[in-house]
Amino acid sequence: KSDSVRGLPDDSVGANSLRVSAKTGEGLGDLRRRLLELAGWHEHPEGVYTARARHVQALRLTGQHLDEAKRRLDQAPPQLDLLAEELRELGPDLEILSPPELRDAIQKGLEKVANDHA
């Protein structure tokens, strides 16, 4: 509580301490950043998003199925039965959304992240 203790030098605050005042708002931004850091949140201003390992694995697997499906389609003559099989493999993990549904899903996700970290 930095507003209740006056006159302490800045070096009196330990390395793991923050000066915070609920009255003036001083240090609240630093406190918020520190709490997010401790929770494992890392901001990437360059636009890079951190995905969980299972998401990365699912994306890799999806890419493999799509590559194989394209290979089946590019063969002469196209192996449509094997192409269909590759696309069926994506079925359980693939949800097809219309553009408005995708927009709404993205907006909902962004709102959840903003609320979780407000």
| This prediction's pTM | 0.38
**Rounded alpha-carbon distances, angstroms, from residue 58 to 3, 15, 55, 61:** 50, 41, 5, 5
- Over the chain (118 residues), the average pLDDT of each successive run of 10 is 54 69 81 75 54 75 86 87 82 74 85 80
B/e letters for 41-80, b = 16+ CB within 10 Å, e = fewer, are eeeeeeeeeeeeeeeeeeeeeeeebeebbeebeeeeeebe
Alpha helices in the chain (DSSP H): 28-38, 53-74, 80-90, 99-116
pLDDT at 46: 47
pLDDT tens digits, 48-64: 455 567 777 878 888 88
pLDDT tens digits, 73-84: 888 898 888 888
pLDDT at 49: 53
